Structure 1
Amino acid sequence: MHKPLLVPEFLDRARSHYGDDEAVVATTGERFTYDDLGERADRFAAALQARGIEKGDRVAVLDPNTHYHLEAAYGSMQIGAVHTPLNYRLTPDDFEYILSDAGVDAIYADYEYADRIEAIRETVPTETFITNDAAEVEGDWEDFDAVLEDTAPEYDRPEMSEDEIITINYTSGTTGDPKGVCRTHRCETIHAYLLVGHQEITDDDTYLWTLPMFHANGWGHIFAVTGIGATHVCTRGVDAAEIFETVRAEDVSYMCGAPTVLNMLIDYYRDHEPETTGDTDVRLATAGSAPPEATIRTVEDEFGWYLKHVYGATETGPLITTSDARRHFEADSDDRFRIKKRQGLAYLGTEIRVVDEDGEDVPRDDETLGEVVVRGNQIMEKYWNKPEATEEAFTDRVEGYYHTGDLATVDENGMIAIQDRKKDIIISGGENISSIELEDALFDHEAVADAAVIPAPSDEWGETPKAFVVPSNGDPTDPPVSPEELTEFTREQLAGYKAVRRVEFVVELPTTATGKVQKYELRQEEWDDEERMVGQG
Structure 2
Amino acid sequence: MDKLTPNAANSVPLTPLTFLERAAIVYGDSHSIVYDHISFTWSQTHRRCLQLASSLTSLGLGRGQVISVLSPNTPSMYELQFAVPMSGAILNNLNLRLDPHALSVLLRHSESKLVFVHSHSLPLILTTLSKFPHTTPRPSLVLITDDGYGDADAVAAAHAMDTYERLLSRGNPNFRWARPNSEWDPITLNYTSGTTASPKGVLHSHRATFMIALDSLIDWCVPKQPVYLWTLPMFHANGWGFAWGIAAVGGTNVCIRKTNAPIIYRSIESHNVTHMCAAPVVLNMLLTREEPLKNPVHVLIGGSTPPASVLARAEEVGFVVSHGYGMTETLGVVVSCAWKREWDRLPRRERARLLARQGVRTAAMSEVDVVDPASGVSVKRDGVTSGEVVVRGSCVMMGYLKDLEGTRRCVRENGWLYTGDVGVVHGDGYLEIKDRSKDVIISGGENVSSVEVEAVMYAHPAVREAAVVGRPDEFWGETPCAFVELKERLERWPTEEELVEFCRERLAHFMVPKTVVFKDALPKTPTGKILKHVLRKEAQGMGSLATRSRM
For normalisation by structure 1, the TM-score amounts to: 0.78
* Alignment-mate amino acid for residue 236 of structure 1: R
Shift of 1:469: 5.2
Query: Are the equivalent residues in 2 in contact too, given 1:247–1:276 (CA < 8 A)?
Result: no
Decide which of 9, 17, 36 is 2:26's aligned counterpart.
17
Change (3 A) 1:392 1:464: closer
Cα distance in 2 between the residues matched to 1:465 and 1:60: 31
Deviations 1:311-365 (A, max 9, x none): 1100012211111322462255332111101011111132111001211100000
Q: Helix, strand or coil for the counterpart of 1:113?
A: helix
Correspondence for 2:189: 168
Q: Helix, strand or coil for the counterpart of 2:120?
A: coil
Correspondence for 2:163: 143
Change (3 A) 1:126 1:33: farther
Cα distance in 2 between the residues matched to 1:121 and 1:282: 41
Change (3 A) 1:276 1:9: farther
Shift of 1:136: 4.9
* Alignment-mate amino acid for residue 121 of structure 2: Y
Work out whether 1:230 is the aligned partner of 2:251: yes
Deviations 1:394-448 (A, max 9, x none): 12xx7221111111110112111111011449xxxxxxxxx99xx9xxxxxxxxx
> Which sits farther off after the overlay, 119-128 or 10-19?
119-128
Change (3 A) 1:254 1:340: same
Shift of 1:153: 2.2
* Alignment-mate amino acid for residue 254 of structure 2: V
Decide which of 358, 366, 374 is 1:343's aligned counterpart.
358
Shift of 1:167: 0.5
* Alignment-mate amino acid for residue 165 of structure 2: D
Cα distance in 2 between the residues matched to 1:466 and 1:100: 30
Correspondence for 2:326: 312
Cα distance in 2 between the residues matched to 1:219 and 1:525: 36
Work out whether 1:152 is the aligned partner of 2:154: no
Work out whether 1:96 is the aligned partner of 2:112: no
Decide which of 508, 531, 546 is 1:535's aligned counterpart.
531
Please give the residue correspondences for 1:47-446 in structure 2 after superposition, counting only pairs within 5 Å.
47-121=55-129, 123=132, 125-133=137-145, 134=152, 135-136=154-155, 139-160=159-180, 161-173=182-194, 176-267=197-288, 269=289, 273=290, 276-278=292-294, 280-301=295-316, 303-327=317-341, 329-331=343-345, 333-334=347-348, 335-350=350-365, 351-356=367-372, 357-395=374-412, 399-424=414-439
User: Cα RMSD over matched residues?
Assistant: 3.4
Correspondence for 1:432: none
Q: Helix, strand or coil for the counterpart of 1:306?
A: strand
Query: Are the equivalent residues in 1 in contact too, given 2:81–2:238 (CA < 8 A)?
Result: no
Query: Are the equivalent residues in 1 in contact too, given 2:106–2:194 (CA < 8 A)?
Result: no
Change (3 A) 1:155 1:276: farther
Query: Are the equivalent residues in 2 in contact too, given 1:184–1:380 (CA < 8 A)?
Result: yes
For structure 2, the residue ranges without an aligned partner over 5 or more in a row are 1-9, 146-151, 455-465, 476-495, 535-551
Number of residues paired by the alignment? 459
Correspondence for 1:45: 53
Correspondence for 2:149: none
Shift of 1:238: 0.7
Shift of 1:223: 0.8
Cα distance in 2 between the residues matched to 1:108 and 1:318: 24
Work out whether 1:31 is the aligned partner of 2:48: no
Q: Helix, strand or coil for the counterpart of 1:243?
A: helix
Shift of 1:73: 2.3
Change (3 A) 1:106 1:344: same
Q: Helix, strand or coil for the counterpart of 2:392?
A: strand
Q: Helix, strand or coil for the counterpart of 1:329?
A: helix
Deviations 1:135-154 (A, max 9, x none): 45652221111222333324
Cα distance in 2 between the residues matched to 1:47 and 1:214: 23
Cα distance in 1 between the residues matched to 2:193 and 2:178: 32
For normalisation by structure 2, the TM-score amounts to: 0.76
Change (3 A) 1:5 1:525: farther
Query: Are the equivalent residues in 2 in contact too, given 1:322–1:343 (CA < 8 A)?
Result: yes
Identity %, equivalent residues: 31
Shift of 1:33: 0.1
Change (3 A) 1:42 1:525: farther
> Which sits farther off after the overlay, 129-138 or 526-535?
526-535
Change (3 A) 1:527 1:402: farther
Cα distance in 1 between the residues matched to 2:196 and 2:351: 35
Cα distance in 1 between the residues matched to 2:337 and 2:237: 20
Change (3 A) 1:330 1:244: same
Correspondence for 1:444: none
Deviations 1:1-55 (A, max 9, x none): 333201311211111211111000024x211001111111111111111211122
Correspondence for 1:499: none
Shift of 1:77: 1.1
> Which sits farther off after the overlay, 209-218 or 150-159?
150-159
Query: Are the equivalent residues in 2 in contact too, given 1:325–1:345 (CA < 8 A)?
Result: no
Shift of 1:159: 4.2
Deviations 1:445-487 (A, max 9, x none): xxxxxxx9x9x9xxxxxx9998845579xxxxxxxxxxxxxxx
Cα distance in 2 between the residues matched to 1:217 and 1:367: 34
Cα distance in 2 between the residues matched to 1:216 and 1:266: 26
Change (3 A) 1:526 1:153: farther
Cα distance in 1 between the residues matched to 2:248 and 2:54: 22
Cα distance in 2 between the residues matched to 1:233 and 1:104: 29
Cα distance in 2 between the residues matched to 1:110 and 1:469: 33
